């Protein structure tokens, strides 16, 4: 299975250090080993490999050396900078990690100017459409809603397998990564926080409400949420707040990288799936082409809301409203259109008899068709 980032990483291997990050079990290590058959591989979680890394004793005749989970090494950036500045390329250097590498072990020299970063996401319908011959994109979307897009459970395609995979996947993050990287001891409270977030996907999150539920401070809740973001468990979608008549809602929304974790109706699962697809496309455009895009939602003081707003170079470019079954255009588009006259309007529905366009430029598209060819302005 050829992954969507392979071509772009391949082109950059002889130019700079490659930092490849993303959620656990998205296929980062598998992709890394597919880039070149002539590689040396080291995983910091392996004791023997750890000794080799301390000694810097790898095979320099190889074309590629892969350092997995290197961010767990104290002062890893200084260590890597020393290797790169002293020895350069070849061999090409690829560092993978299941946490945001720009967050951890900040002590030491910066790697500024020495690396390209790629963020690898789980499968979405656009990527699935490139390697699975299917006569029904709608059927593949149904699988995404049920199992999420992590390759192993998605390709296995059974509820029994996914339920066990889901539990062990989260256990590793909570009981291994959290302790290794954050030295966090409040595992039960963070587990409870995740459970609360599963039921609140698509809704603005009140830090004070979560703090009351967890019997801790707002500050602690914010810190735990940041940790979950850094571990690629959830991602934050804040409200866009640039001169929308000062009608600003400051509470962010949170979505799961694994849609299967979401507790709610199919409409909420579809919204999470769309959020994942948009965030993946944004990171892809940024990491591979240097574009600047961001994901927000819109909400005014009257409670009128649009699910997603994508900005390009800081300016709103596209509004996206997600519906399970609705062929009529949301009236909220016109409310926000008055603030941004050039803003494109798109409504996507899972069950739709006919796709439509309107005189004001708005479109209603079937979810599976749009997600399979997602492009952003």
Q: What is the DSSP string of 21-62?
A: E-STTSSHHHHHHHS-SSEEEEETTSHHHHHHHHHT---TTS
Shared domain check, 335 and 197: yes
Shared domain check, 255 and 172: yes
Question: Has residue 80 been placed in a domain?
Answer: yes
Shared domain check, 60 and 173: no
What pLDDT sits at residue 135? Answer: 74
Give buried/exposed letters for 42-78 (b at 16+ CB in 10 A, else e): bbbeeeebbeebeeeebeeebebbbbbbbbbbeebbb
* Mean pLDDT across 45-69: 89
- Give the confidence band of 183 by pLDDT, cuts at 50, 70, 90: low
Shared domain check, 64 and 184: no
Question: Has residue 50 been placed in a domain?
Answer: yes
Residue keyed to tokens 């301390």: 54
What pLDDT sits at residue 340? Answer: 83
Q: What is the mean pLDDT of the chain?
A: 88
The answer to whether residue 34 scores a pLDDT higher than 70 is yes
The answer to whether residue 249 scores a pLDDT higher than 50 is no
Question: Has residue 221 been placed in a domain?
Answer: yes
* Mean pLDDT across 339-368: 91
Shared domain check, 251 and 172: yes
Cα distances (Å, whole numbers) of residue 188 to 153, 168, 211, 263:
26, 16, 14, 19
- Tell me the residue length of the chain: 377
Alpha carbon 142 to its chain's center: 20
Question: Has residue 272 been placed in a domain?
Answer: yes
The answer to whether residue 302 scores a pLDDT higher than 90 is no
Highest mean pLDDT among 120-124, 137-141, 176-180, 242-246: 120-124
Closest CA to 44 of 17, 83, 74, 70: 70
How many separate domains does the chain show?
Answer: 2
Alpha carbon 29 to its chain's center: 17
* Mean pLDDT across 221-232: 91
Task: Quote the CA–CA distance of 144 and 42 in Å, as a whole number.
Answer: 32
The answer to whether residue 182 scores a pLDDT higher than 70 is no
- Give the confidence band of 69 by pLDDT, cuts at 50, 70, 90: confident
Shared domain check, 187 and 89: no
Give buried/exposed letters for 250-284 (b at 16+ CB in 10 A, else e): eebbbbbbbbbbbeeeeebbbbbbbbbbbbbbbbb
Question: Has residue 1 been placed in a domain?
Answer: no
Highest mean pLDDT among 22-36, 103-117, 167-181, 229-243: 22-36
Q: Which domain holds residue 133?
A: 125-372
Question: Has residue 154 been placed in a domain?
Answer: yes
CATH number of domain containing 69: 3.40.50.300
- Give the confidence band of 112 by pLDDT, cuts at 50, 70, 90: confident
Task: Quote the CA–CA distance of 306 and 267 in Å, as a whole number.
Answer: 15
The answer to whether residue 126 scores a pLDDT higher than 90 is yes
Judge contact between 256 and 169, C-beta under 8 A. Answer: no
**Tell me: the pLDDT tens digits for 5-33?**
999 999 999 899 999 999 999 999 999 99
Shared domain check, 151 and 283: yes
């Amino acid at each position: 299975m050829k992954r969507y980032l392979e071509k772009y990483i391949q082109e950059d291997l002889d130019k700079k250090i490659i930092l490849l990050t993303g959620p656990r079990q998205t296929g980062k290590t598998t992709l890394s080993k597919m880039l070149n058959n002539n590689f040396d591989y080291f995983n910091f979680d392996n004791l023997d490999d750890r000794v080799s890394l301390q000694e810097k004793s790898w095979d320099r005749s190889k074309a590629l050396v892969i350092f997995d989970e290197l961010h767990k090494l104290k002062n890893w950036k200084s260590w890597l900078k020393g290797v790169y500045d002293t020895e350069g390329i070849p061999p090409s250097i690829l560092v993978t990690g299941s946490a945001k590498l720009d967050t951890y072990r900040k002590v030491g020299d910066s790697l500024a100017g020495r690396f390209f970063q790629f963020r690898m996401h789980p499968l979405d319908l656009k990527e699935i459409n490139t390697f699975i011959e299917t006569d029904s994109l709608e059927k593949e979307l149904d699988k995404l809603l049920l199992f999420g897009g992590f390759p192993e459970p998605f390709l296995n395609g059974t509820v029994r397998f996914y339920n066990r995979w889901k539990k062990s996947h989260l256990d590793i993050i909570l009981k291994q990564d959290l302790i290794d990287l954050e030295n966090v001891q409040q595992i039960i409270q963070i587990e409870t926080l995740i459970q609360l977030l599963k039921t609140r996907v698509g809704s603005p999150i009140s830090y004070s409400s979560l703090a009351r539920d967890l019997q801790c401070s707002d500050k602690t809740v914010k810190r735990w949420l940041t940790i979950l973001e850094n571990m690629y468990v959830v991602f934050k979608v804040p409200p866009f707040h640039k001169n929308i008549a000062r009608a600003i809602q400051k509470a962010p929304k949170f979505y799961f990288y694994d849609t299967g974790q979401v507790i709610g109706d199919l409409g909420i699962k579809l919204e999470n799936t769309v959020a994942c697809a948009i965030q993946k496309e944004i990171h892809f455009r940024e990491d591979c082409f240097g574009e600047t895009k961001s994901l927000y939602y819109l909400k005014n003081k009257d409670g009128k809301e649009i699910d997603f707003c994508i900005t390009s170079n800081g300016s709103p470019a596209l509004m996206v409203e997600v519906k399970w079954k609705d062929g009529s255009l949301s009236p909220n588009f016109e409310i926000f259109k008055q603030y941004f006259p050039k803003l494109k309007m798109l409504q996507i529905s899972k069950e739709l008899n006919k796709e439509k366009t309107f005189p004001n430029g708005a479109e209603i598209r079937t979810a599976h068709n749009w997600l399979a060819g997602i492009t952003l302005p």
